[in-house]
Structure 1
Amino acid sequence: MIKEQIIDLIKNELKTNDIKIETLGGMTNRNFLVEGDNNKKYVLRIPGNMTSSLINRKYEKLNSLLMSEHNFNVKTKYFNDESGIKITYFLENSFSLDHSTIKNDMYLKMIAERLYKLHNSNIKLSNKFDVLLEFKKYLSLLKEPSNFYDFNENIREICIFFEKTSIYLIDKYNKLVPCHNDLVPENILIKDNRIYFIDWEYSGMNHPLFDIAAFFLESKLLQEQQESFLKYYNNNINFNLIKNDIIAFQFTQDVLWFLWTIIKEENNEFFDGYAKARIDRAYQSMLTLQKVL
């Protein structure tokens, strides 16, 4: 249910007296397709629980608008960086990808080339995304730390290895470029053979391999598909030389998003099995990395 004051806000911003609202998906927030009496469509984002603490909306607003200017993001109609409420223009005749369609080689090529362009754009975002600092911030948001530390018997070992791995990656990969940092398939739109990255909540200056590793992880790409993607992204990259570091980045991402999920669930937003899947995979990655790092 959308509160009446938000309905009034939408009508005022869209300059319409009548609106139709349809629920869309989303993990971090609640998203809605909104259509005014002028038949124009928009996407309304209402922040989920705790997102004002998890996400810096001022950075998100600045980065989102900047990315719209450079045509990496859809256009924004309204963004309140206090409430986190956002209205973007609906991209007509566009479609998002999923874990099946994203494996299409044509789409992999399009995404790789677009991501390379983003990473080499010389755009300066308003903030840095440091996975270790984000992790420490998230820890401070826990209502009951035992929900995290006692989730299973491996958590403390994972935390020690997380800090070690994060420092290793920060020291080795210190080139910072504009990054999305949350490249799940649903955050990638295609229209007229052009790629758009949406939802820049976690964006910031970071190493490009963080984005690449996240894309591989969230899209569940096989090694052959990962190698193809890297050739399209930059043919000079040797997959075998960075394979373990990709796993290391993915390990840090799994641990961070596991903690994110615990915080959300403490605030009555539940994602069936998501936390367990993240931390179980992180543990297996740790066992692999301990042999090579």
Structure 2
Amino acid sequence: MIWGDGTFVMASGQLLCFARLFLLVPQLSSDAPDTILPDILEAFERHQALHRVCGAPLAARPQPGLTNRVFRLEAEKGTFFLRLPRLEAAGNIDRKAEARNLMLAAATGIAVPPVFCDAEAGILVTRAVKVSGSPADLSEQSSYSLARALGEALGQLHGSGVTFEGLLDPDSVLQAQWQGLRDAVRCREEMTGLEIVLQPIGAGTAGGAGRMLVPSHGDPSPGNCLMSCDQLWLIDWEFSGMSDPAWDLAYAVLEHEMSADEEKVFLQAYAATGAAVPEADRLGVMKAKCDAVSALWALEQVAAGRDEDVFLPFARQRRGRALRQLARLS
């Protein structure tokens, strides 16, 4: 059900066996005990539809997350995953576009369908249902099986023909990030070398004029992949939009740390869906741009006063990898 204020509720979720995920991005601790935090109680008080969907909240365990606060929620009507936004990230995410794109992706069969979403508040709920046996775990899957499943999922998304809200252009993103950090004295040294990524790079320049744009997830990292019993699902669509297909492909290869053989399996599975694989040079350029985006994003967190011990190592690792990729392309 979709309401005029941007809130929608689905009567029931699709049965999934959720993975226990290990993020490659920095993450916050999820070791806190089960409890009902005041923010959860406030969300249920403000949004009575949560009571209709979940029943009264009984216990909640925090899950890893950076741009959101995610909880495994035990409630009267079952077990759910509840997402509340982090206030420091709220201004950087178009939640209405995310909600629309999520519904489109769910209709294609590759996104976990929500049972509740309030785009204005940034609240999202999906149902967590255990099936017989242990939950599928990314760490227990064959790396080649994961590469194949992710290639198939992205190929299905890119070939779906749906039109997402928002434009995800790597060059525009990089320029905006660079401008936003120009007065961040603490970050200047950490940005050294990345200025070259802002310039056109060779004949395979990614994001150039006339590129085909496809509906894109934007961040297909391990933490945003769930393995059900028979397929891979993509979650967290807050960075989704129309983009060069090389964006999702490059990010997937980088964040899953695929070997050359795994990348080959991944791209073959992608091509098997009918999607066109970008030429190697263009994909290589996009890898450098994606790592630069990730490095600058982490530096934005440092500039905003968030934990340097978490975000500086992340920024340095991505910067180093971007510069090594550029050296290989030169």
Distance 2:51 2:246 in 1: 39
Partner of 1:263: 300
Give the TM-score of the pair, scaled to structure 1: 0.85
Distance 1:97 1:286 in 2: 34
Partner of 2:164: 125
Counterpart among 55, 58, 61 of residue 22 in structure 1: 61
1:88 Cα deviation after fit: 2.2
2:200 maps to 1:159: no
2:90 maps to 1:52: yes
Give the TM-score of the pair, scaled to structure 2: 0.76
Structure 1 residue runs of 5 or longer lacking an equivalent are: none
Partner of 2:33: none
Matches within 5 A, 1:54-133: 54-93=92-131, 95=135, 98=138, 100-101=139-140, 103-133=142-172
Identity fraction in percent: 21
Residue 268 to residue 169, structure 1, CA distance change in 2 (3 Å): same
Post-superposition CA distance 1:72-91 (Å, at most 9, x none): 21121332323322222225
Letter in 2 for 1:201: E
Distance 1:11 1:25 in 2: 26
1:62–1:126 CA contact under 8 A, matched in 2: yes
Post-superposition CA distance 1:120-171 (Å, at most 9, x none): 111111122111222233345449422333325xx2x422333324992122
Partner of 1:180: 217
Going by fraction, where is helix more abundant, 1 or 2? 1
Q: Tell me the SS of whatever aligns to 1:250.
A: helix
Residue 285 to residue 160, structure 1, CA distance change in 2 (3 Å): same
Partner of 1:135: 174
Letter in 2 for 1:288: R
Counterpart among 146, 149, 172 of residue 185 in structure 2: 146
Residue 217 to residue 18, structure 1, CA distance change in 2 (3 Å): closer
1:281 Cα deviation after fit: 1.3
2:170–2:289 CA contact under 8 A, matched in 1: yes
2:143–2:262 CA contact under 8 A, matched in 1: no
1:35–1:42 CA contact under 8 A, matched in 2: yes
1:24 Cα deviation after fit: 1.0
2:70–2:81 CA contact under 8 A, matched in 1: yes
Counterpart among 273, 280, 288 of residue 320 in structure 2: 280
2:267 maps to 1:230: yes
Q: Tell me the SS of whatever aligns to 2:205.
A: helix
2:105–2:157 CA contact under 8 A, matched in 1: no
Residue 277 to residue 10, structure 1, CA distance change in 2 (3 Å): farther
Residue 117 to residue 9, structure 1, CA distance change in 2 (3 Å): same
Range with greater deviation from structure 2 (117-126 or 158-167): 158-167
1:129–1:204 CA contact under 8 A, matched in 2: yes
Range with greater deviation from structure 2 (163-172 or 114-123): 163-172
Residue 139 to residue 103, structure 1, CA distance change in 2 (3 Å): farther
Residue 285 to residue 149, structure 1, CA distance change in 2 (3 Å): same
Letter in 1 for 2:321: R
Residue 8 to residue 62, structure 1, CA distance change in 2 (3 Å): same
Partner of 1:244: 281
Post-superposition CA distance 1:64-114 (Å, at most 9, x none): 12212222211213323233222222254495654x546532332222222
Range with greater deviation from structure 2 (11-20 or 216-225): 11-20
Distance 2:275 2:97 in 1: 31
2:83–2:124 CA contact under 8 A, matched in 1: yes
Residue 86 to residue 144, structure 1, CA distance change in 2 (3 Å): farther
